[in-house]
Structure formats: structure tokens, C-alpha cells
Amino acid sequence: MVESLQQPATGPADSGEIERFDAIIIGAGVTGLYSLYRMRELGFTVQAFDDGGGVGGTWYWNRYPGCRFDSESYSYGYSFSEELLQEWDWKEHYSAQPENERYLNYVADKFDLRKHIRLNSRVTGATFDEEANCWEVRLEDGHRARGQFLITSVGILSSGYVPDFEGIHDFKGPWCHTGKWPAEGMDLAGKRVGVIGTGASGVQLITEIAKEVGHLTVFQRTANYCAPLRNGPIDDQTQQEIKSSYPDIFKKCMETPGSFMHQFDPRSAMSVSKEERHALYEELWQEGGFKKWLSNFYDVMLPGEANEDYAEFVRNKIRERVHDPVVAEKLVPKDHMFGSKRLPCESGYYEVYNQDNVLLVDVREAPIERITPKGVKTIEAEYELDVIIYATGFDAVTGSLAKLDIKGIGGKTLKDKFAGGPRTYMGVSSAGFPNLFTINAASVGNFVRAAEPLVDWVSEAMAHVRDHGHSRITATVEAEDAWVQHVNEDGAKVLRTQANSWFVGANIPGKARVLLTAPDTAPVMRAKRNAVSANGYEGFILE
């Protein structure tokens, strides 16, 4: 397998001594960097550990061709510094990975965060010391550190999943997962390349590499509803308009269900004539990004007639773009509702299948039997390949936590506790794991917009513990049970639990099928957290 090249470890060499901090953060991506900034501002001594060779998290590891934002760049950046907002110029409406990584490095440098980050430092375990009321964190290189608080800023989509195909290590050529794309890149020009998976990462990757490969074989299990991104450069005038509009942009994001810039049309799709609703469909289709998803009639995102009406509209858009009607029907989703999975945005994806050197293989019709030394063998044929790329997604939310071997009171592991699904209070705290804040289990939607108020709340809770002379904060069993019941009962009603997606862990064999995030909108979650803190951290035990 091709691995990313990394720089030597950053930070003090392991001397056998245990470093001590008020707080330890695992991860130096979007939430990790802001957590560092916010906690330092509140006077905490803090250290972040990250297994990458640079900061950025998602935007460090996901270097595959075509990787970019699917929400507007200017809605994704941090809002805490007016100076930063005015200094940074986003080059595109939907920024690509290299620029996103540069942005996060710029933030780390501007706010002098690097001195608090130890890179190339893989955390292998964290254990709560019940007598000392602190967490001891162990690194792969033997380094150890202690902190009263432990914050997991490891992202909800950071634990890459590769199916356990028979013979996977027999393949003689290079292969990798999109989430661990090598920093030096992969030579695909003129090669026979196989891509397994057609989710959001696969759609972006396939569109880009189809321009240079000799032959491309795409192995598709599930067809997705994909919509045009309609990206473009930001000119100077638009740049100035954006910079003068940041207060309005962020206000709009804070008011919407997923913290995006788009608000649903309050009308029912079925309350207007077919001509009128299809006129709106067409208008939205010409717009960029998620507008066609999140600015639509509100009931398009509810199971029922409106959802199916728009789904068929999108299916027909797909059919119009693919020349071969047989191939087109394979690319048309028929087994899940529109919006029950996150909408992949694309820039020429469907046209790829009009190329003579591209072959689509439906692995539901002909499942993959094994990986061979020469390529991929389905039950019908063997496909000889020079390179295999797994765009097979992630073990969302709990996968990254399980790898950390977190042990709470009595040595109980978070992995075991979460085996049937996350057991938390509001996603941030779990009974029996004092002073642990699972930020990655509580953030969803437009991640920066959702993460900033979440990190603010966690930081303020930590300050409350410190300023009131407490040593521990942990969720009560009763509050946790009530939250889990809420997630299960109300989660069953939301659209994103209706498909076999990462939202419910259905993409991982053997994983319990439960909603992995809150069923509530972002404004509702902020209100719930604020009510909890306003009521003296109701649902928590402060000791």
C-alpha cells in the first residue's frame, strides 16, 4: 500500500518523563486548532497530538485529486477573528484541498498554535486516573502526557474503511484509500486504474483522474444522487462583497438546520402546480453547491410524494447526461430517497461515463469475489489493473474513537460502551468517563460553523469546573439514557436514517445500526447546550 511521506516527529523527544497540561486535545484539524486557540485564551495549558505530518486533519490526509469543499468556502472558514477574515482571500467558491490545507496552516501560524502541537504523534491509549482526576495519554513512540481534560477532535470521517476483500494484499501494484492519499501523489497517467466506491470522495476522484488515466474501471455498489457543483474563481469585486458580508453570511448559517448558507422554501412542493415547482427545480439546478438540496421546498427533505417528485427530476437529469441508456440506468439511484445521504456535488462526473476508456461495473449484479495479483475479480470477470484506489468511505464517528483505546472509571473502554452505538449526553460526554469531551461525536453539518459554538461551550464548561474548584465533570446515567432514547426515537423520523449510509453506520459490516449524530438541527442543539449550562450544567455531575 502507498503511504504518505511524513516529516520527523515534532515535539520533545521521549525522555520517560510525563508532560502535564490542563487539557490534551487529540487532533489538529479544524476543531482541534480552534480548541487550542479557545482553551489557551481561557488560560488553560494545552497540548494537541496529531498522527499527521502537518496540521489540517481532513484537509491534510485527503489529498486525492478533485478533493474540495462542497459548501461555500467563505462559509467554512473560522469566524472568531475579523483580522483573519479580512486577510484571507478564498480563490474559489468551493475551495480545493491544497488551498484548504494552506488556510489551516496560515491559521496555525497566525495564532502561534504550532508550539502547542506535537505532530507525527499517534495516540494509542488514554486512561483516566481516578485518584489524580486526570487523563494519561500514551503515544505510539512511548511518550506520555497527563491532563485534567481530554478532548477528542478527531473528526467524524477520519477512520478510513477498506472492505476485507479476500486477497487484498496479493495485488502487485500500488493501492491506497482516498483518505490516506500519499503526499507525493500517485502516477496514474496512462495506467489501468480501478476505483472501488462512488460516494462523495469517489465522485470527486473519478471526475479528475478520468482526464489522465489510460483506462478507468469503476466498481459501483450504490448509485448516488449527484448534483452539479458549478464552481468558479472569485473575482476581486466578489471578494470585497464577501468580506463586507461576513456578518450576514454567518448569521444566515447560524439560523439554518445544518449551519449552511441555504434555507428551505417554506412552501410544500405539492401545494403549487407542477409547472411552478419544476420551475424552481430548474432554477436551483443552475445554482451552485447545496442550494438544489437545501433551498428546495421543505418537504423535499421529508419522506413522501414531494421527495419522490424531486428524486425523479434528478434521475432524469442524470439520464440526460449519459449517452448509453444502459449505463445511465446503472447510475440512477433507485434504492434510497433523495437527501437520505449527503449529496455529492460534481463537475462533470456523469460525462466521464461517455468516454470510451471508462467502464462501469455494477458490483450488486456481479459482486467482487477477491482481489488478485493482477486486479479485481468479480463473480463474472477479472479486471486487470495497474492501480487500485479504495473510495470506500469511513467508519464514521465511533470508528476513530474506538482506535484510541479510551479507558474510563473501572477500566471500562469507550469502544465497548459504544458497541451498540454512541452512549453520550448531547454527544459531548459519556457517563463513567469524567472530563472527556467527545467533540467529534457532537458536530455535524457545516463543520466549522457547527464546531465553533460547540468548542466554545466545551471550553466554557472546562472554565466553570476550574473556576468553581471542581475536579470532575461527567454526564449522569439518567441524562445519558434520556439522550440515547431521544436519538433513537426522534432519529427514526429523520430522512438520513432511512438509507444505508454512514449516518447510521450501515456501511460498516457488523456495526450497530443507529443514528451516530443528533437528530436535532444545529440551532436546536445550541439552545439545548446553552440551557444545560444556564441551569448549572443540568445532567452533569460536578465533583
Q: What is the 3-state secondary structure (H, E, C) of 273-300?
A: CHHHHHHHHHHHHCCCCCHHHHCCEHHH
What is the percentage of the chain residues whose pLDDT exceeds 70? 97
Mean pLDDT of 85-93: 98
Whether the per-residue pLDDT at 430 is higher than 50: the answer is yes
What would the grid cell of residue 104 be?
489551516
What are the CA-CA distances from residue 162 to residues 169, 201, 299, 345 (Å)? 12, 14, 35, 23
Domain membership of residue 65 (yes or no) is: no
Single out the residue in 353, 368, 390 at which a domain terminates: 390
Predicted confidence band of residue 448 (pLDDT cuts 50, 70, 90): confident
Q: Which of 360, 390, 420 is the last residue of a domain?
A: 390
> Are 418 and 431 in a shared domain?
yes
Q: Is 474 helix (H, G, I), strand (E, B) or coil?
A: strand
In the structure, what pLDDT confidence band is assigned to residue 440 with cuts at 50, 70 and 90?
Answer: confident
Output the nine-digit C-alpha cell for 362.
455494477
Give the span between the Cα atoms of 39 and 22, in whole angstroms.
Answer: 9
Quote the domain boundaries for residue 521: 18-55+113-159+395-542
The pLDDT tens digits of the residues spanning 289-342 come to: 999 999 999 999 999 999 999 999 999 999 999 999 999 999 999 999 999 998
- 20, containing H or E segment: strand 18-26
Q: Using pLDDT thresholds of 50, 70 and 90, give the confidence band for residue 96.
A: very high
| Section 341-352 average pLDDT | 96
With a cut of 80, say whether residue 3 has pLDDT above it.
Answer: no
pLDDT at 447: 77
Residue 9 confidence (pLDDT) above 50: no
What pLDDT, on the 0 to 100 scale, is given for residue 11? 43
Rg (CA), the chain: 23
pLDDT, tens digit, for every residue of 206-240?
A: 999 999 999 999 999 999 999 999 999 999 999 99
Q: In the prediction, which pLDDT does 509 show?
A: 95
Residue 7: is its pLDDT beyond 50?
no
How far, in Å, CA of 93 to CA of 101, rounded?
16
- CA pair distance 447, 80, nearest whole angstrom: 15
Q: At a CB cut-off of 8 Å and minimum separation 6, what does 163 contact?
A: 196, 390, 392, 509
In a shared domain, residues 350 and 430? no
What was the pLDDT predicted at 363?
Answer: 97
Positive or negative, the Cα torsion across 16, 19, 23, 24?
A: negative
Domain identity same for 535 and 426? yes
Cα(337)–Cα(344) distance, rounded to whole angstroms? 14
Between CA 104 and CA 56 the distance in angstroms is 6
User: Does residue 296 sit within a domain?
Assistant: yes
Closest CA to 429 of 414, 410, 448, 446: 414
> CA-CA distance, 135 to 23, in Å (whole number)?
9
Q: How far is CA 392 from CA 62, 67, 132, 164, 542, in A?
A: 13, 15, 42, 11, 42
Please give the grid coordinates belonging to residue 329: 440506468
Degrees to nearest 5, angle at CA 152 with 106 and 29? 20
- How deeply is 58 buried, as exposed, middle or buried, from its count of CB atoms within 10 A (0-12, 13-18, 19+)? buried
Residue 6 has a pLDDT of 32
Any domain includes 43: yes
| Contact assessment for residue 176 and residue 389, using Cβ atoms and an 8 Å cutoff | yes
Query: At 443, is the pLDDT very low, low, confident or very high (cuts 50, 70, 90)?
Result: low
CATH at residue 439: 3.50.50.60
Do 151 and 245 lie in a common domain? no
Decide: helix, strand or coil at residue 505: coil
- Given pLDDT bands bounded at 50, 70 and 90, which one contains residue 35? very high
Give the amino acid at 457: W
CA-wise closest residue to 421 among 347, 351, 510: 510
Please, which pLDDT band fits residue 17 given cuts at 50, 70 and 90? confident
Give domain status of residue 197, yes or no: no
* Whether residue 496 is found in the same domain as residue 459: yes
268 with 140, same domain: the answer is no
Q: Same domain for 345 and 331?
A: yes
Quick one: CA torsion of 297, 298, 301, 304, rounded to 10 degrees?
-80
Contact 131, 419 (CB under 8 A): no
- Provide mean pLDDT across the span 266-283: 97
Neighbouring residues of 244: CB distance < 8 A, sequence distance ≥ 6: none
Residue 4 pLDDT > 50: no
The shares of helix, strand and coil residues in the chain, as percent rounded to the nearest 5, are 35, 20, 45
Domain boundary at 344, 375, 390, which? 390
What average pLDDT score do residues 191-201 get? 97
pLDDT digits (tens, 9 = 90+) for 110-133: 999 999 999 999 999 999 999 999
Residues 6+ apart with CB under 8 A from 115: none
Residues 240 and 379 in one domain: yes
Residue 83 lies in a domain: no
Dump pLDDT digits (tens) for 511-531.
Answer: 999 999 999 999 999 999 999
**Residue-wise pLDDT tens digits, 172-191:** 999 999 999 999 999 999 99
Q: Are 346 and 404 within one domain?
A: no
Using 50, 70 and 90 to split pLDDT, how confident is the model at 8? very low
The predicted structure's pLDDT at residue 128: 98
Same domain, residue pair 25 and 146: yes
72 is a domain residue: no
- Band the pLDDT of 369: cuts 50, 70, 90: very high
How many Å apart are CA 459 and CA 149, to the nearest integer? 10
| Angle in degrees, CA 195, 196, 200, rounded to 5 | 90
Handedness of CA 439, 444, 448, 450 (dihedral sign): negative
pLDDT at 15: 52
pTM, two decimals, is: 0.94
Is-contact 30 80, C-beta < 8 A? no
Long-range contacts of 291-295 (CB under 8 A, 24+ apart): 291/262, 292/227, 292/343, 293/227, 293/262, 293/339, 293/343, 294/256, 294/257, 294/258, 294/260, 294/262, 294/263, 294/264, 295/262, 295/263, 295/264, 295/265
Q: Do both 332 and 471 map to the same domain?
A: no
Q: How many domains does the chain have?
A: 2
Share of the chain above pLDDT 90, in %: 94
Are 377 and 422 contained in the same domain?
no
Residue 173 included in any domain: no
Report yes or no on 301 lying in a domain. yes
Q: Does position 5 have pLDDT exceeding 70, yes or no? A: no
Inform me whether the pLDDT recorded for 256 exceeds 90: yes
